[in-house]
């Protein structure tokens, strides 16, 4: 089959990586081993391929250059077109609608893979036209960071691998990048559909790929008061250490009378409200002083840290809570004596 044509390539950048005039699409032709770049002036649009696409096909890589002083190039997407190559698409959906797909370590997400164009009734067709390899990769971010550092070797490992036939394949997953401590997982999982190498295209080609970022479950540590502690004079200063708050989250501290109770609505301490719309998890330390004005009566009270995220249907989730007692009444018992000379 003759396959000599130009193709129109559509591109779309999500986010703000762009440095206009520096971003590009690179076309690599398998049969000739040559490549050519076409530079982009906008963050979305359609361009004509810089070279004719011969038989058996070509690979197109979308690259973005970092914003100064970051001059590193990032490959954002790869597409392969060819005479016998099947078509593949992958979509990852989580409960967080953020454009760069992400989720929390304890939440499920859905993957939909659509494969078409596989040839099963032609013995002479190349291997690349008969089988598609599905690979699920995992990669942990270095401890204390939320990104893969530039110009460092990457430690990518395979989580799943098998052949997929024509059709729509749907599955639900939980993160698998940190099985020892699943709620502390920090990294990304990549889903790819590969064509098999053969004589015409000598390397395994990425037909489709999508990445989902995995962020850890937030944690709160309350210090200054201990469980069931009793106060009779004055209340101490509270310190609340918040770790790995979800990038899109509203976190606050509330007080209510009575023991711990999920779903209880109490008095929100305004100075403790933290509202984030970020790209990565956030850490905060909150100091609470003079909070006795909210505790007018003696009795049992609970101080509770809550967070609202795209998960749990937008309902608050508890990060931590401590119950304590206020008892300001002091009863003096004794005897009165007198002495006479």
- Predicted local confidence at residue 313, as pLDDT: 95
Q: Are residues 292 and 172 located together in one domain of the fold?
A: no
Whether residue 230 is contained in a domain is answered as yes
For residues 260 and 307, what is the distance between their CA atoms, to the nearest angstrom? 16
Check pLDDT > 60 for residue 17.
no
Q: Are residues 270 and 237 located together in one domain of the fold?
A: yes
pLDDT digits (tens, 9 = 90+) for 211-251: 999 999 999 999 999 999 998 878 889 999 999 999 999 99
Whether residue 336 is contained in a domain is answered as no
Q: Looking up tokens 């986010």, which residue turns up?
A: 15
Q: Are residues 207 and 303 located together in one domain of the fold?
A: no
Instruction: Select from 183, 215, 247 the last residue of a domain.
Output: 215
Total tally of structural domains belonging to the chain: 2
Mean pLDDT of all residues in the chain? 83
Whether residue 155 is contained in a domain is answered as yes
Question: What does DSSP assign to residue 34?
Answer: -
Check pLDDT > 70 for residue 4.
no
Q: Are residues 106 and 188 located together in one domain of the fold?
A: yes
Q: Are residues 206 and 252 located together in one domain of the fold?
A: no
For residues 192 and 210, what is the distance between their CA atoms, to the nearest angstrom? 7
Instruction: Select from 160, 191, 215 the last residue of a domain.
Output: 215
Q: Are residues 259 and 283 located together in one domain of the fold?
A: yes
> Strands 317-326 and 230-231, how do they pair?
parallel
pLDDT digits (tens, 9 = 90+) for 79-97: 777 766 788 999 999 999 9
Instruction: Select from 160, 184, 215 the last residue of a domain.
Output: 215
Angle subtended at Cα 45 by Cα 208 and Cα 51, rounded to the nearest 5 degrees: 70
Burial (0-12, 13-18, 19+ Cβ within 10 Å), 48? exposed
192 close to 209: Cβ distance less than 8 angstroms: yes
For residue 264, CA distances in Å to 273, 303, 324 come to: 18, 11, 16
Domain limits at 310? Answer: 219-326
Which helix H or strand E contains 81, and what residues bound it?
Answer: strand 73-82
pLDDT digits (tens, 9 = 90+) for 35-93: 888 888 777 788 888 887 776 678 888 887 766 666 667 677 777 777 667 889 999 99
Q: Are residues 209 and 257 located together in one domain of the fold?
A: no
Q: Are residues 61 and 80 located together in one domain of the fold?
A: yes
């Amino acid at each position: 089959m003759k396959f000599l044509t130009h193709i129109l390539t559509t591109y779309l950048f999500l986010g703000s990586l762009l440095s206009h005039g520096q971003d590009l699409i690179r076309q690599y032709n398998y049969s000739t081993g040559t490549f050519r770049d076409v530079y982009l002036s906008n963050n979305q649009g359609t361009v004509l391929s810089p070279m004719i696409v011969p038989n058996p096909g070509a690979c197109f890589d979308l690259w973005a250059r970092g914003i100064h002083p970051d001059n590193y190039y990032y490959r954002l997407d790869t597409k392969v077109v060819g005479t016998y190559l099947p078509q593949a698409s992958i979509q990852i959906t989580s409960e967080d609608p953020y454009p760069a797909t992400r989720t929390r370590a304890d939440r499920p997400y859905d993957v939909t893979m659509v494969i078409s164009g596989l040839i099963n009734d032609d013995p002479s067709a190349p291997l690349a036209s008969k089988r598609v390899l599905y690979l699920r990769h995992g990669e942990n971010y270095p401890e204390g960071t939320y990104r893969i550092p530039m110009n460092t070797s990457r430690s990518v490992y395979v989580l799943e691998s098998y052949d997929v036939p024509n059709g729509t394949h749907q599955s639900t997953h939980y993160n698998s990048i940190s099985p020892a401590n699943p709620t502390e997982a920090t990294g990304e999982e990549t889903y790819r559909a590969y064509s098999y190498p053969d004589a015409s295209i000598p390397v395994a080609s990425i037909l489709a790929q999508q990445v989902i970022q995995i962020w850890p479950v937030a944690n709160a540590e309350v210090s200054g008061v201990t469980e069931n502690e009793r106060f009779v004079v004055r209340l101490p200063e509270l310190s609340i250490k918040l770790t790995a708050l979800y990038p899109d989250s509203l976190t606050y501290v509330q007080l209510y009378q009575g023991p711990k109770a999920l779903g209880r609505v109490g008095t929100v301490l305004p100075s403790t409200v933290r509202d984030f719309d970020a790209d990565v998890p956030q850490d905060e330390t909150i100091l609470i002083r003079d909070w006795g004005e909210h505790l007018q009566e003696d009795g049992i009270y609970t101080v509770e840290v809550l967070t609202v995220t795209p998960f749990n249907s937008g309902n608050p989730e508890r990060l931590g809570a401590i119950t304590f007692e206020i008892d300001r009444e002091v009863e003096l018992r004794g005897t009165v004596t007198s002495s006479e000379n």
